[in-house]
A and B are shown apart, each in its own frame.
Chain A
Amino acid sequence: MGRTVPTVTCQLNETEAMLQSFRRTLRRSDQALLDGLLASARRHVAAISASGALLPFESALLAMLVEQARQIAALQQEISILQEDLVRLRDGKS
């Protein structure tokens, strides 16, 4: 029993280890952002695994983009709510 191909989690761990010198060279503030990006890919390991790609990091990058898009969508929604509130305040309808 046992699998031949390493799991996506193992492969992501290896990729993160390989990126250590890249991470080290970044500014501390940017290091935190990189960590956040890498962590966001972990939310989609099932989808990355399902892609069956030879290089799963490509799918991981897509997963990071999905998370970014989700955050952008959430922020846009918040902005539109705030804008509506602003319009209401301006019109004196609070």
Chain B
Amino acid sequence: MGKVEKIGWLMDVYTRPSGELVCWLISEDGQRWLLTMAFPVTFCVAGNPSVLRQAWRFLQGRGAGCSRQVRRDLFEGERTVLAVTVDLPGRLPEVYRRLAQAFPGLDYYDADLPLSVRFVARTKVSLVGRCRFETDGQQLVGLQPLESAWEMQPSLPPLRLMEIDCDQDPALHPPQQIVIRCAKRCYRFSLQPLRAFLVNLQALLRIYDPDVILTRYGDTWLFPFLSETDPLFNPNRDEQMKVEFRRERSLFAYGQVLYRGAQALLFGRWHIDRCNAALFGEIGLAGALELARVSGLGVQEGVRKSPGAGITAMQMQTALQDGVLIPAVKQQAESARTLSRLIRYDRGGMVYQPLVGVHCHAAELDFASMYPAIMVRYNISPETLNKKDAPAGLIPRTLQPLLVKRLALKHCLRTLDRRDSRVSELKARQTALKWLLVVCFGYLGYKNARFGRVESHEAVTAISRELLLQAKESAEEMGFSVLHMYVDSLFVQREGAQSEQDFIPLVEQIQQQTGIGVTLEGVYRWLVFLPARRDRRIPVANRYFGVFEDGTLKYRGIAMRRHDTCQYVAETQLDILQCLAQADDPRERWREAWALVNQRVRLLQRRQVAADVLQMAVKLSRDPQSFRRPSAAAQAARQLQSQGVAVRAGMRLFFWFSRQGVSVTPPGANELDWNRYARLVMQAAAEMLDILQPVREVRQFHLPLSR
């Protein structure tokens, strides 16, 4: 085959066991290409010159080329480094591992970067991005970008989708049936006999040749199961590759224990397990493509990892494009300081306790992407700290286009009608970008972040507190009273101010004063700030519910927002809110709301509620053997273990309250602990209604429950 030039999309890059790089592309004519490409990669080593010379000698004859270069370290300035170039990118990890083992005292740079990030930074072709490529049928010999990652309306490749679903949660019961949907057709297969199922699955993969396989439990059950039962079964498009399995793990992040299930990654097509891809449920395929486009992380990786990995990949791209060295291990330690300075600066965002009670015609004002906007506007980056007139830092330059794109998408969404077919896709893309922006601030202070530095993290919160105080002062000068402030939002009220127009001058004033975009989230017809459960005199931040003038409901911090609340209890709170929302003042309808609650409690007492809406959920904070008390979580974990299920910290377990304690399988009507559910409903109702009714009548409506 002679050379051909095509226009298409770069879908993914990976290495084969031989070490060569493979690009998966889709051309405009619908053809799928798996092309190898010559792609030498380099990592750098710095340190004592005599040790570097030994390292040079060590590398001779190991298939790596060495040269002396002068490169820039973000913190230490220019450094003389030993640049080690490996022709086959798949061999780099091995060369690096051996060298680091032999010379642990040297500083290593650019050694553990994701391949796709290197590729995107060098070729300027973004993942899922439109490009022109030239090939001889085997090798990719030319590649040019035709579309930027920051394109507002990027062209989309014609993807073929296959969905594979099983009839039961494999952690609880072995599935019996598999449903496969593809090209508007639906196939239902029994898993027994297994041979027939495998033949059918292989035939469907061959006929439809999907680019994306969407599954439920594909990571944790389907692909491991298929690989175990038939080692020759290969769902990859690239027949030279086997499925890549990654082990499950529990980790501690953001103050909680998280569980990441095992992973099964494919080559030449993507596999996304809806049950194991943290972000996919929220952002869908459109958001996953956007994430890959801007971050340079492959779609399969991006949806399974935290957004932090995405923002790190973006920072790496900026560093690679600038020729800045990326340390394999973070080298900056927090600088020493006095106790008084630590107390002064080691603080979070401003949280102003709300005025507890009912407030009518209050407005909520939000700073748009406040922390990233501060980083960009005030040039906050680890290397620019305490430097006046420093050029734009690595972090602000990484965030600037992201911020601009998200604000543009949000603006676009505001101009569209809710029923417009583009809304869901734009929302998904906007949400994907939001998550990257949300975590970029945390990563400044994260101890393992390559370009993190806690002082810059503190600078952001210090500026945010100052800006919020400026906003408060502006509001008070204009005659508003501030009901609540929460990090990047404030709730204000003024006698006579009822419509959005009444609050616009304040929005403009704050925007002008702070230089950060402010949006009017809306004007509440009424808003209720709730007190602490243990003492009604103590206000609690970010625990409220209310209804906007247009009837939209908003609630934070109450039972129905919690992941461990069962559906029936959550629905009760939503019913209460909808009932209250019909009035101009919620206090006018508290009796009706209680009547509604009593009705729902009576349904429980009559055992007329389906078990599936009573299912409770809990996230295990530790391994089952570490529980000291027989809490519901501990009981559920032990029951599952006794059924042979592997239970790990961070896993989400489901159970029902039963007369014997808890049950991980749906109990019969006689076994369910109906009184306990009734108490949960009453507690959830009291959480919202106690504050609305006159003090002397509080809890009067609580029903006596009989066992």
Residues of A within 8 A of B639 (CB): none
Residues of A within 8 A of B442 (CB): 1
Least Cβ distance of B188 to chain A in Å? 47
Instruction: Knowing A3-B346, A4-B346 are in contact, say whether A42-B339 is a contact too (CB < 8 A).
Output: no
Instruction: Knowing A3-B346, A4-B346, A46-B485 are in contact, say whether A54-B340 is a contact too (CB < 8 A).
Output: yes
Please report which residues of chain A, range 30-87, place their CB below 8 angstroms from some CB of chain B when the two chains form the complex.
Answer: 35-36, 39-40, 42-46, 49-50, 52-54
Please report which residues of chain B, range 225-256, place their CB below 8 angstroms from some CB of chain A when the two chains form the complex.
Answer: 254-255
Counting chain A CB atoms within 10 Å of each CB, which of B348, B351, B442, B445 scores highest? B351
Assess whether B348 is in contact with A3, with CB atoms less than 8 Å apart: yes
Given A3, A4, A36, A54, which contacts B537 in the complex, CB threshold below 8 Å? A36
The reply to whether the CB of A19 lies closer than 8 angstroms to some CB of chain B is no
Given A39, A46, A50, which contacts B535 in the complex, CB threshold below 8 Å? A39
Against A, the Cβ 8 Å flags (1 = close, 0 = not) of B447-464 are 100000000010000000
Assess whether A5 is in contact with B351, with CB atoms less than 8 Å apart: no
Rounded to whole angstroms, the CA-CA distance of A17 and B537 in the bound complex is 18
Instruction: Knowing A1-B447, A39-B537 are in contact, say whether A54-B351 is a contact too (CB < 8 A).
Output: no
Least Cβ distance of A89 to chain B in Å? 29
Query: CB-nearest residue of chain A relative to B536?
Result: A39
Instruction: Knowing A1-B442, A50-B465, A54-B343 are in contact, say whether A42-B348 is a contact too (CB < 8 A).
Output: no
Against A, the Cβ 8 Å flags (1 = close, 0 = not) of B330-354 are 0000000001101110111011110
Residues of B within 8 A of A35 (CB): 535
Residues of B within 8 A of A54 (CB): 339-340, 343
Assess whether A46 is in contact with B344, with CB atoms less than 8 Å apart: no
Rounded to whole angstroms, the CA-CA distance of A53 and B445 in the bound complex is 23
The reply to whether the CB of B203 lies closer than 8 angstroms to some CB of chain A is no
Least Cβ distance of B143 to chain A in Å? 38
Least Cβ distance of A1 to chain B in Å? 5
Residues of A within 8 A of B353 (CB): 42-46
Please report which residues of chain B, range 535-590, place their CB below 8 angstroms from some CB of chain A when the two chains form the complex.
Answer: 535, 537-539
The total of chain A residues at the interface (CB under 8 A) is 20
The reply to whether the CB of B446 lies closer than 8 angstroms to some CB of chain A is yes
Query: CB-nearest residue of chain A relative to B355?
Result: A43
Please report which residues of chain B, range 488-544, place their CB below 8 angstroms from some CB of chain A when the two chains form the complex.
Answer: 535, 537-539
Residues of A within 8 A of B343 (CB): 5, 52-54
Query: CB-nearest residue of chain A relative to B540?
Result: A42
Assess whether A49 is in contact with B340, with CB atoms less than 8 Å apart: no
Residues of A within 8 A of B457 (CB): 1
Residues of B within 8 A of A36 (CB): 537
Residues of B within 8 A of A42 (CB): 353, 537-539
Given B347, B352, B446, B465, which contacts A1 in the complex, CB threshold below 8 Å? B446
Rounded to whole angstroms, the CA-CA distance of A3 and B348 in the bound complex is 8
Counting chain B CB atoms within 10 Å of each CB, which of A1, A36, A40, A52 scores highest? A1
Against A, the Cβ 8 Å flags (1 = close, 0 = not) of B342-374 are 111011101111000000000000000000000
11 A–B contact pairs at CB < 8 A?
A: A1-B254, A3-B348, A36-B537, A43-B539, A45-B351, A46-B350, A46-B352, A46-B353, A50-B350, A54-B340, A54-B343
Residue ranges of B at the interface with A (Cβ–Cβ < 8 Å): 254-255, 339-340, 342-344, 346-348, 350-353, 442, 445-447, 457, 465, 485, 535, 537-539
